[in-house]
Structure 1
Amino acid sequence: MRASVVGTTITLAAGALLTAAMTTASASPPDSAAPHHPRADRPVLVDCLWQRTVRPIDFILACGDGNSRLTGLRWSEWSPGEATAVGVNVVNDCEPYCAAGTFHAYPVTVRLGGAKPWKEHPGVERYTEISLTYPGDRPEGYQRVMTYPLWD
């Protein structure tokens, strides 16, 4: 019984370390693919670390555990009214539990909207809503279009 508890503890710790590494490690994109620095005349997207960015290549949706993130984002629009991109939503199925789960990739269209002044920096507009549209397969339990508020 004790060996089973130790094995489970080691597995859970390894899973947590792997999740942390996946959410913080990223390859350096070529200069032409790097996100643009924000300008005062366009809204920003605020990430998990309260950093503002424009046209990010990757974006973590599940800040607490990293079990859902957007990758390979290609932005076709970034305006005060809306931002639109296509990319991939990488989601952990958490089966049988998240540390032992498998990540699956789902093509997605991303829309940002609802630009409003950011409480932390009132002179900066930030998007307040994100919508994900899955044209094909999607994670279990998800609708074809999922809309979420963004943190402030």
Structure 2
Amino acid sequence: MRFHRATAALMVCAGAALATATMPASASAATPPTTGNRVAVIDCTGNAQHQPGTFMLACGDGNNVLTSLRWSQWHSRSAVAEGTDMVNDCQPYCAAGHFHGYPVRVRLDTPQARTGHDGQRHFTRVTLTYPAGRPADTPRVVTLNLWS
């Protein structure tokens, strides 16, 4: 039993590493510290991003990634994009699951000062709105707190 658990854990880690490695360079490149009213979103590695094309929501296992993000607004209080939410169905378990894409509207808001980064502000909340299909057991509108 330990072997199967270790194998599953290894596969999840490998999947997360693969998801990160296959991100476009523009999605993983760090944005310089923000100044003035320019606000960033913090990625899984702690880098400030400005209008990223890809954004991972599930840092621990890589099973939920926003892709093909097209930003129509990026202001000091909120940012709005449309894209695809790629979600692993984890069936029969996450390492053997399949990713499915769902059209999604993304809104970042609730900016705050970033601790330990003088003058930098970052969005601390994301709201996902699914205009059509959505992952199983997921409401049409989901609001999550982001890490700092």
Q: TM-score, normalised by structure 2?
A: 0.86
* Residue of structure 1 equivalent to 2:35: 40
Choose the corresponding residue for 2:49, options 42, 46, 53.
53
Summarize the Cα distance change of 1:118–1:128 in structure 2 as closer, same or farther, 3 Å threshold: same
The answer to whether the aligner puts 1:114 opposite 2:110 as a matched pair is: yes
Deviation at 1:142, TM superposition (A): 0.7
Pairing 1:64-83 to 2, within 5 Å after superposition: 64-83=60-79
Choose the corresponding residue for 2:82, options 83, 86, 90.
86
Summarize the Cα distance change of 1:122–1:63 in structure 2 as closer, same or farther, 3 Å threshold: same
CA distance in 2, matches of 1:149, 1:9: 30
* Structure 1 outlier segments of 4+, above 4 Å: 8-11, 34-38
Give 2:44's aligned amino acid.
C
Aligned residues: 144
Query: Contact (CA 8 Å) 1:71, 1:90: kept in 2 or not?
Result: yes
CA distance in 2, matches of 1:113, 1:14: 34
* Residue of structure 2 equivalent to 1:128: 124
Partner deviation per Cα, 1:88-137 (whole Å, 9 max, x = no partner): 00000101100011100000000000011111214111101000000000
Deviation at 1:57, TM superposition (A): 0.4
Summarize the Cα distance change of 1:16–1:116 in structure 2 as closer, same or farther, 3 Å threshold: closer
CA distance in 2, matches of 1:128, 1:46: 9
Q: Secondary structure at the match of 1:123?
A: coil
Q: CA RMSD in A?
A: 2.3
Give 1:144's aligned amino acid.
R
Calculate percent identity across the aligned residue pairs: 41
Q: Max radius of gyration: which structure?
A: 1
* Residue of structure 1 equivalent to 2:15: 18
Deviation at 1:149, TM superposition (A): 0.5
Q: Unpaired runs of 5+ in structure 1? A: none
CA distance in 1, matches of 2:59, 2:14: 15
Q: Secondary structure at the match of 2:119?
A: strand
Q: TM-score, normalised by structure 1?
A: 0.84
